[in-house]
């Protein structure tokens, strides 16, 4: 049928997007004097359907991000059966009543941002005998409506997550304010990670991932650049 996208169109478009983004990641890394494979692309598949996600999987991509536990539960168990080596990151806020489902479904939690959640995650990981890598989300812009630990509380919280809750914290994550140049926020996050000897930095999205790489990002979260617009149905 003309005009109606099918699986072959999805595959062609998503593969081309993935190649383009990976190429830009590689260039940005080399410009920063880093190895291209020091940056992992998290393909953000929120709102996109399983067939479209499967196009990325068939193109060989394995690392994905979702922002809602419930949406991810509907989409990912089947995909995981077909592609057991995929890695799924939770990049949206996590309510404590969803911790059990999140620990079962995800491989990485990027949005650890408060003591109550740290305690719930630690308990559930023990209970289910699973160790999910965690990023601590820092609200670098101190925006009241945004998730993430406030910068002034971050050092203490990072220490508590590691020393008190015993969580496998591998790095920090941030989402800079929309209306500010992101560089200052990327630099702040890098400095904070350095203080705590945390090796990973999740920062940079479709609009600014190259700049994030310049500031040391090891994970970039790219949705639109890989899957296209989320509003066009």
Ligand X SMILES: *Cc1c(COP(=O)(O)O)cnc(C)c1O
In the region spanning residues 113 to 172, those forming contacts with ligand X, defined by CB under 6 A, are none
Site string for ligand X, 190-229 (x = CB under 6 A): ---------------xxx-------------xxxxx----
Q: Which is nearer to ligand X, 189 or 222 (CB)?
A: 222
3-state secondary structure the chain: CCCCCCHHHHHHHHHHHHHHHHHHHHHHHHHCCCCHHHCEEEEECCCCCHHHHHHHHHCCCCEEEECCHHHHHHHHHHHHHHCCCCEEEECCCCCHHHHHHHHHHCCEEEEECCHHHHHHHHHHHHHHCCCCEEEEEECCCCCCCCCCECHHHHHHHHHHHHHHCCCCEEEEECCCCCCCCCHHHHHHHHHHHHHCCCCEEECCCCCCHHHHHHCCCCEEEECHHHHCCCCCC
Q: Is the Cβ–Cβ distance between 224 and 231 less than 8 Å?
A: no
Site string for ligand X, 173-192 (x = CB under 6 A): --x-----------------
Number of residues that bind ligand X (CB under 6 A): 14
When asked if residue 89 is in the footprint of ligand X (CB under 6 A), the reply is no
In the region spanning residues 23 to 62, those forming contacts with ligand X, defined by CB under 6 A, are 44, 46
Q: Which of 67, 139, 140, 218 binds ligand X (CB under 6 A)?
A: 67
Q: How far is the CB of 2 from ligand X (least distance, A)?
A: 28
Q: How far is the CB of 59 from ligand X (least distance, A)?
A: 18
Q: Which is nearer to ligand X, 8 or 178 (CB)?
A: 178
CA 190/CA 186 separation, integer angstroms: 6
Q: How far is the CB of 17 from ligand X (least distance, A)?
A: 11
131: alpha, beta or left, given left = phi > 0 and alpha = psi -120 to 50? beta
Q: How far is the CB of 54 from ligand X (least distance, A)?
A: 19
Q: How far is the CB of 218 from ligand X (least distance, A)?
A: 15
Q: How far is the CB of 71 from ligand X (least distance, A)?
A: 12
Q: Which is nearer to ligand X, 21 or 193 (CB)?
A: 21
Contacts to ligand X by CB under 6 A: 44, 46, 67, 91-92, 175, 205-207, 221-225
């Amino acid at each position: 049928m003309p005009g109606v996208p099918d699986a072959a169109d999805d595959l062609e478009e998503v593969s081309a997007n993935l190649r383009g983004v990976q190429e830009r990641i590689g260039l940005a890394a080399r410009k920063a004097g880093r190895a291209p494979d020091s940056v992992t692309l998290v393909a953000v598949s929120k709102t996109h359907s399983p067939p479209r996600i499967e196009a990325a999987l068939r193109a060989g991509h394995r690392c994905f991000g979702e922002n809602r536990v419930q949406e991810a539960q509907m989409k990912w168990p089947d995909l995981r059966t077909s592609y057991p080596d995929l890695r799924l990151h939770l990049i949206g806020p996590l309510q404590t009543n969803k911790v059990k489902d999140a620990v079962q479904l995800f491989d990485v939690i990027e949005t650890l941002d408060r003591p109550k959640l740290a305690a719930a995650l630690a308990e559930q990981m023990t209970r289910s005998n699973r160790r999910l890598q965690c990023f601590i989300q820092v609200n670098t812009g101190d925006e009241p409506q945004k998730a993430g630990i406030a910068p002034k509380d971050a050092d203490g919280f990072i220490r508590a997550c590691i020393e008190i809750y015993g969580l496998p914290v591998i790095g920090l994550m941030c989402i800079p304010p929309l209306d500010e140049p992101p560089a200052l926020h990327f630099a702040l996050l890098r400095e904070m990670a350095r203080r705590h000897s945390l090796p990973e930095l999740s920062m940079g999205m479709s609009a600014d991932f190259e700049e994030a790489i310049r500031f040391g990002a090891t994970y970039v979260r790219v949705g639109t650049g890989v899957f296209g617009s989320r509003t066009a149905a």
